Structure 1
Amino acid sequence: MKRIIILAVIVALVVLAWTGAWLFVASQVEKQVANLANGDGVSDPKITCAELSTGGYPFAMDVVCKGATVQMQDVTAQLAEIRGSVLVYQPTHALFIASSPLVLKDAFSGNEQRLDFGLAQASVRLDSWRIARVSVHVENPAFYNTLPSDELIAKASLAELHLIDIPERHEPAKGLAALAVYAPLENLVMPGLQIADGKVSVEAEINGLPDDVRLMAEGDSIRRWQGAGGTVKLVNVQASDGENFIRTSGDVGLDEQMRPQGQLQLSSRGIVERLGDRIPAQVRNIMLGQQAPDGSYGQTITMRGGVVLVGLIPVGMVPPLL
């Protein structure tokens, strides 16, 4: 009998300790989320929740933000609800679910847009502090101008974004990592561009990233990326609508003055004809190149020393990012 009593006491103490620890963590999480409202909205975003709550006891930590608002300078984003969840025995894997709509307001221009969607979820998984995988999945997104009335800009049946660690590119001694990027967009409709059944596919690689996700939020992260020789390799970026397409590949980075540098190969079919008279013929020929015997167009875009060259023709300057 004594053993049963002792065991019951031990179990009760463990439950009380676990409950106390969970409540403490929940209070700290609420405090950290509430602190996001202290941003000035100019250099740091100001993030607020109309209603903030935590749950998931005993084996999960759920945070629910209803009426989420993000303000940055003149732009305000409002989301109906976002929910984040982490299992206490798997703290490096977080799940997020958002509820429609997302409303964007620009106080300077007076523009207002709305993004409607069905299911919207994301997951983030870390390996130690290195990104192992980030995935975003959105079903039936539809983007509208809402002033003076709803006007469809674009809609699709599916939009996804995946960032996947490339283990063989990890350099622990230098603290560097690389990510593969894959982003498809299916059944794209854009009335303004007469796109009825478009598809977009992005395949890329980002090299020279820090292998500690905490460093990515620091103010000098872009400069550090440049110093590490970071590049974005566009393996294949393609947008198509039926037989018409535009495709690009190449490498882009930053020079010591933080100006974009690199070279892109551009190919297309049917884009010149679709643009029609919207762009002067001379500009179209410069940007998309001359027509090949198979009906496609090809061009090379080079960024070097702050100058943008289309083919061999300088067409503009690009300022430093910082």
Structure 2
Amino acid sequence: MKKRIIILGSVVVAVIVLWSAAWAVLSGLIRQNVQALAAADGVQTPNLACETLNVGGYPFRFDLDCGNARIVSGDLVVDVPGIRASARVYSPFHLLASAQGPLQLTDSFTGTRNSVAWSTLDASVNVQNWRIQRLSVSGKDVVWSDRLFGDAVIAQSPLVELHLFDIPEQHDPERHLAALAAYGRAQGLAWPGLTLTGTDADIELELSGLPDDVRNWGDPALLPSIQQAGGKLNIVRIHATDADSVLDATGTLGLDAQAMVDGQVAITSTGVAERIGPMIEEPWRTLVLGTPGAEGVYTNQLTFKNGAIFSGLVPIASVPPLF
């Protein structure tokens, strides 16, 4: 019996030592891959640099902490006080992340300086066979401000959420195509510039024709591949409402052979035209929202065709090819 206990104890110790060594190697690889992002050119590939970088979570997690992160992509520079990403050993393709605020966004081309603050900001992404099963981002007490001159609030909401879901029935394994459903919402949205107060907004979208391997989403030929696959953006529902107005929109958009947006969007609203009256002059307000019916409900249909946007039969704007 004593010999068996010694053997069992030796096996346990050996497993612990081997796993500890494996964890150290894997954590080192994670650190190297993140550090390699700092060598990106920041033009073709975004550059991510961490002032401090730590990997912890031993023995059953890998917790990556990036302190004072700076992300550079072209003219845009994003500074974040802290980013944490965690993966559990038994579920390595389910990533949990969080960030400390406020985020600082600077655009050297336009000269704008914005900040986004929050009390909590959490994200979760679950990938299986390199297909997104679900991606969720949730922020509480979100405040978006203009920091160029002082600290002017642009918009704020106690809760903002975004979710992406795989649509299994639309997966085409032979053509390696997938489709995603997107749902986003903002509660109690206040946007002084648009005279919005206590607004609740919901967006439901479906996008088809995507590569089913997320590693291909950074391909410069992504839009052409979606066009060739016949991908569509289905606007299932856009709904926004507050005490005085309601806005709804549905439609379907795609890309034609010349890479121009093609499709239709139907808009229904109540009280919106009166609200935006001081901001959008006629005839543009009517061309976008339409005319009111007997009960004061505005309806209109915008058509995207041959590089133009039509309100009825009237062209109101041009849209260049997307590639």
Task: Decide: shared fold, TM above 0.5.
Answer: yes
- Aligned twin of 2:265: 264
Secondary structure of 1:141's match? strand
CA shift at 1:75, angstroms? Answer: 1.4
Q: Which moved more, 1:276-285 or 1:122-131?
A: 276-285
CA shift at 1:309, angstroms? Answer: 1.0
Query: Counterpart of 2:212 in structure 1: which amino acid?
Result: D
For the residues of structure 1 that align with 2:67 and 2:267, how far apart are their CA atoms?
44
2:186 paired with 1:182? no
CA shift at 1:104, angstroms? Answer: 0.6
Say if 2:277 and 2:285, in contact at 8 Å, map to a contact too. Answer: no
CA shift at 1:118, angstroms? Answer: 0.9
Secondary structure of 1:21's match? helix
* Cα displacement string for residues 146-189 of structure 1 (whole angstroms, at most 9, x for unaligned residues): 12211110000100011111222122222222111111100001
For the residues of structure 1 that align with 2:55 and 2:88, how far apart are their CA atoms?
13
* Cα displacement string for residues 10-53 of structure 1 (whole angstroms, at most 9, x for unaligned residues): 22221111111111111111111111111212222111111111
For the residues of structure 2 that align with 1:240 and 1:79, how far apart are their CA atoms?
32
Say if 2:81 and 2:103, in contact at 8 Å, map to a contact too. Answer: yes
Say if 1:92 and 1:128, in contact at 8 Å, map to a contact too. Answer: no
2:37 paired with 1:45? no
Secondary structure of 2:296's match? coil
2:8 paired with 1:11? no
- Aligned twin of 1:250: 251
Aligned identity (percent) is: 38
For the residues of structure 2 that align with 1:109 and 1:228, how far apart are their CA atoms?
35
How many residue pairs get aligned? The number is 322
TM-score w.r.t. the length of structure 1 is: 0.96
For the residues of structure 1 that align with 2:18 and 2:170, how far apart are their CA atoms?
43
Secondary structure of 1:16's match? helix
For the residues of structure 1 that align with 2:184 and 2:78, how far apart are their CA atoms?
23
Which runs of structure 2 are paired with 1:57-76 in the superposition (5 Å)? Answer: 57-76=58-77
- Aligned twin of 1:231: 232
Secondary structure of 1:229's match? coil
CA shift at 1:274, angstroms? Answer: 1.0
- Aligned twin of 1:212: 213
Query: Counterpart of 1:99 in structure 2: which amino acid?
Result: Q
Secondary structure of 1:278's match? coil
Runs of 4+ in 1 over 4 A off after TM superposition: none
For the residues of structure 2 that align with 1:243 and 1:191, how far apart are their CA atoms?
15
For the residues of structure 1 that align with 2:278 and 2:123, how far apart are their CA atoms?
41
For the residues of structure 2 that align with 1:223 and 1:153, how far apart are their CA atoms?
35
For the residues of structure 2 that align with 1:235 and 1:125, how far apart are their CA atoms?
24
For the residues of structure 2 that align with 1:316 and 1:192, how far apart are their CA atoms?
24
For the residues of structure 2 that align with 1:200 and 1:25, how far apart are their CA atoms?
43
Supply the RMSD in Å over aligned alpha carbons: 1.3
Which runs of structure 2 are paired with 1:1-322 in the superposition (5 Å)? Answer: 1-322=2-323
Say if 2:287 and 2:316, in contact at 8 Å, map to a contact too. Answer: no
CA shift at 1:219, angstroms? Answer: 2.3
Query: Counterpart of 2:116 in structure 1: which amino acid?
Result: L
TM-score w.r.t. the length of structure 2 is: 0.96
CA shift at 1:115, angstroms? Answer: 0.5
Secondary structure of 1:280's match? coil
Q: Which moved more, 1:275-284 or 1:29-38?
A: 275-284
Secondary structure of 2:43's match? coil
